[in-house]
Amino acid sequence: MERATLSPACWTASGPVGPRCIALLRRVRASGDAYTLIRNVDRDAVVKALAAGFVAWVGRSRDVVRLTARGAEYLDRLARVE
């Protein structure tokens, strides 16, 4: 069984996630358990990250996200340049 490969240009229904989304994922990972959206660019990038399944909302708040297992796997693959 072959593993599906993830490229830096991971696609959502609205197009590739892009560098802003990847930067958001890195900030979410660096923050630990949860990341509070502060910047406007974070709010733009979170839409694509949610669509790709890379982050999820924490509780009812629409200001705090966490990295999902899929998001962590994507960042790991990017780091290994797979």
Question: CB of 46 within 8 A of CB of 24?
Answer: yes
Say what the pTM is: 0.79
CATH topology assigned to domain 16-80: Arc Repressor Mutant, subunit A (1.10.10)
2: exposed, middle or buried (Cβ count in 10 Å: 0-12, 13-18, 19+): exposed
CB 12 within 8 A of CB 51: yes
- pLDDT of residue 30 exceeding 90, the answer is yes
Confidence of residue 11 (pLDDT cuts 50, 70, 90): low
Residue 8: half-sphere exposure toward Cβ, Cα within 13 Å: 9
Please say if the pLDDT value at position 44 is more than 60: yes
